Amino acid sequence: MADDTREALVGVIGGSGVYQIDGLENTRWETVPSSFGEPSDQLLFGELDGQRLVFLPRHGRGHRYSPTDINYRANIDALKRAGVTDIISVSAVGSLKHEYAPGHLVLVDQFIDRTFAREKSFFGKGCVAHVSMAHPVSTRIGDALEAACKELGLAHTRGGTYLTMEGPQFSSLAESNLYRSWGCDVIGMTNMPEAKLAREAEIPYATVAMVTDYDCWHPDHDHVTVEMVVKVLLSNAEHARSLIKTAAPKLRRRPLVDEQGGDHALEYALITHAEARDPEVVARLDAVAGRVLGGPVQG
């Protein structure tokens, strides 16, 4: 009987504390060039109980890049070139709901993009494409993360809407209340256009939103101290490491084609006729769109 699965190479995007996992072996930092500029940092390759993982510090080691300054296109392009088949994004967020206290994890399944100063697509003049973002999160990866949360006894919620703001400043009170009126669950600065680009690169993606504090709408917000926030950040980093360590084995084998996750998101997305495509633009897309453009593709 034919095997309809293949080995996964899981990419993890997050802070430096995420990849300091006990048992991570055969590690090496490697520079992976991108045709879209410089990624945030080198990629850390390693193995965890035989499962291959690739880590990318979203803000660079030492937190060198603000959310606006991150080269999201280069980050996703580099992960694609490294052969990553699935992405787990770990992100610090503010809570927009009473029930999501600091330390709570939200496995979001929807996004609202309020950013305005970032490159949001690999495509454009010379080669136009439109991918669907109706369901931007991979159910398969979400299932693994949810199962890991349950095993570890972590307070979590499956499903929710992550509003991505531009930053680097935090919300005004009026903005915070507006986003609550929209039914958003958490607010952060980094998951857009990250999730959009992962979909364009045909890499299934899921987010673990880790609550660090209540946003400014909450009556106790003004009483939060730096010491309290740091305590939550350290606790969240520990939970993130445990979560990755527990979820990774569940993702070791993945479908040959994860249709819902976006493996074939570009199948009918390219609009520009072949004879009208700019060769230079097409050359830049050799990794993210090589499957449909006929160029080399990793994975």
The answer to whether 91 is annotated as binding is: yes
- 291 DSSP 8-state letter: H
245 residue type, one letter: K
Pairing of strands 161-165, 110-114: parallel
Q: In angstroms, rounded to a whole number, what is the distance separating the alpha carbons of residues 287 and 270?
A: 15
The answer to whether 49 is annotated as binding is: no
The answer to whether 213 is annotated as binding is: yes
Q: Please tell me which residue in 41, 185, 215, 286 is annotated as part of the active site.
A: 215
The answer to whether 140 is annotated as binding is: no
The answer to whether 205 is annotated as binding is: no
| Contact residues for 174 (Cβ-Cβ < 8 A; gap 6+) | none
The answer to whether 92 is annotated as binding is: yes
Q: Please tell me which residue in 213, 258, 263, 286 is annotated as part of the active site.
A: 213
| Angle, CA 44 vertex, CA 38 and CA 50 arms, to 5° | 145
The answer to whether 222 is annotated as binding is: no
**Catalytic-residue membership of 278:** no
Q: In angstroms, rounded to a whole number, what is the distance separating the alpha carbons of residues 187 and 173?
A: 13
Q: In angstroms, rounded to a whole number, what is the distance separating the alpha carbons of residues 168 and 160?
A: 23
**Catalytic-residue membership of 220:** no
155 vs 78, 138, 143, 150, CA distance in Å? 33, 21, 15, 8
Which tokens in the block code for residue 70? Answer: 């991150």
The answer to whether 16 is annotated as binding is: yes
Q: In angstroms, rounded to a whole number, what is the distance separating the alpha carbons of residues 67 and 60?
A: 11
The answer to whether 65 is annotated as binding is: no
Q: What is the DSSP string of 175-194?
A: HHHHHHHTT--EEESSHHHH
Q: In angstroms, rounded to a whole number, what is the distance separating the alpha carbons of residues 228 and 223?
A: 10
* Catalytic residue ranges: 213, 215
Residue positions in the annotated binding site for substrate? Answer: 189, 213-215
Residue positions in the annotated binding site? Answer: 16, 58-59, 91-92, 189-190, 213-215
Residue positions in the annotated binding site for phosphate? Answer: 16, 58-59, 91-92, 190
